[in-house]
Amino acid sequence: MALFTELEAGQQIDHYRVDAPVAESGMAAIFRATDLRDGRTVALKIPYAAMESDPMFFDRFKREDEIGVTMDHPNVMRTMPAEQRSRVYMVMEWVPGRLLRKILAEEGKLPQQRAISITLQILDALEYIHSRGVVHRDLKPENVMVDDHDNVKLIDFGIASKEGSRRLTYAGFSQTLGTPDYISPEQVKGKRGDQRSDVYAMGVMLYEMLTGRTPFSGPSPLAIMNDRLINHPFPPREANPEISPQLQEVIYRALERDPHHRYPDAHEFAHDLRYLDEVGAADRIELTDWKKRRSGRARKFVYYAALALMPFVLFLIMVLLARHR
């Protein structure tokens, strides 16, 4: 998209002066700006022109704005209430710092206490938004801002769902489900996901902060998603022996494939992280069977065989119907 080239430093949108581009995605760009009424620094999220004309995107953008306005928590980025505006955009509080993704790219794995501290702040934010009927659904290092004192802000509610709101979908995979490395098994299966899906994504992020890698891998997004459905994660302590058995158990509880076996909410996840000495390390099958990697080829064979047989089955049905006329 070319929005970064369309807007230049010094250009004004209503009473906001654009200062510099910050980031862009497939649907919108974010700029640092100054509110000329009081000199306050803000962030402007401006959709691309092609997206503004998409009714589904407009509904999603409006919902993100509505969710952000209701947020009031130190670990959640706030959105300013809408006023009369000359075009569609969102005004958010300016959050200084670095994305957690950038920190991981520069530092690799993090010290255990630092990773736990960051995780506890994100879990506190999740507990808050979940209590208000909001599920983030796209929790990942790209959506967590960390300042110089390791204070955390959860950002970007672009595909969040809100209890009581009608379901919105996109034709594109990533906009509907989230990011392949972090989405839960139930989301891979096409379910909407609930607060336990956010718990799962947080488990992946904690694993990544402690080991420098994600628990599942593959040559493509579909392969990564398939890996989490049929294989056990690479044991955290195999990747980083400094991880205690108790902390490894907490990670496994967050990454349970069946959401009913997972931590039911962010509060219980945070409790175990705070009181690791009370966590019993289970004798898990994941610790012994993780080397048995399944490729999912048998499932693919059945799928393609069913597709190949479908015309024949339809032909037989037509023949039987013709005979019974």
Cα 11 to Cα 16, 94, 115, distances in angstroms = 9, 18, 40
Is a pLDDT exceeding 50 seen at residue 19?
yes
What's the mean pLDDT in 286-308? 58
Confidence of residue 322 (pLDDT cuts 50, 70, 90): low
Which residues contact residue 173 at a Cβ distance below 8 angstroms, ignoring those fewer than 6 apart?
A: 221
- Is residue 269 within 8 A of residue 275, CB to CB? The reply is no
The highest-confidence range among 127-131, 156-160, 303-307, by mean pLDDT, is 127-131
Quick one: pLDDT at residue 230? 86
Residue 40 DSSP label: E
Quick one: pLDDT at residue 89? 92
| Cα distance from N-terminal residue to C-terminal residue, the chain | 58
What is the Cα–Cα distance from 13 to 189, expressed in whole angstroms? 42
- Is residue 47 within 8 A of residue 89, CB to CB? The reply is yes
Angle at 286 between CA 281 and CA 289, to 5 degrees: 140
Quick one: pLDDT at residue 64? 86
What is the Cα–Cα distance from 138 to 25, expressed in whole angstroms? 14
What's the mean pLDDT in 106-132? 96
- Of 138, 181, 198, 227, which one is the catalytic site residue? 138
Quick one: pLDDT at residue 208? 97
pTM for the full model?
Answer: 0.82
How confident is the prediction for the chain on average, in pLDDT?
84
Confidence of residue 318 (pLDDT cuts 50, 70, 90): low
Quick one: pLDDT at residue 321? 52
Nearest to 32 by CA among 86, 77, 76, 94: 94
How confident is the model over 221-269, as pLDDT tens digits? Answer: 888 888 888 888 889 999 999 999 999 999 999 999 999 999 999 999 9
What's the mean pLDDT in 197-202? 96
What is the Cα–Cα distance from 265 to 248, expressed in whole angstroms? 18
Burial (CB < 10 A; 0-12, 13-18, 19+), residue 130, is buried
pLDDT-above-70 percentage for the chain: 83
Please tell me which residue, 212 or 179, carries the higher pLDDT value. Answer: 212
Buried b (16+ CB within 10 A) or exposed e, 162-191: beeeeeeeeeeeebbbbbbbbbbbbbbeee
- Is residue 211 within 8 A of residue 238, CB to CB? The reply is no
What is the Cα–Cα distance from 34 to 10, expressed in whole angstroms? 10
pLDDT-above-90 percentage for the chain: 53
User: Is-catalytic flag, 138?
Assistant: yes
Quick one: pLDDT at residue 128? 96
How confident is the model over 142-151, as pLDDT tens digits? Answer: 999 999 999 9
How confident is the model over 47-98, as pLDDT tens digits? Answer: 887 777 778 888 888 888 888 899 999 999 999 987 888 888 999 999 999 9
Quick one: pLDDT at residue 324? 56
- Is residue 110 within 8 A of residue 152, CB to CB? The reply is no
Quick one: pLDDT at residue 32? 95
- Is residue 249 within 8 A of residue 282, CB to CB? The reply is yes
What is the Cα–Cα distance from 132 to 60, expressed in whole angstroms? 18
Collapsed DSSP state (helix, strand, coil) of residue 15: coil
- Is residue 41 within 8 A of residue 50, CB to CB? The reply is no
Quick one: pLDDT at residue 169? 43
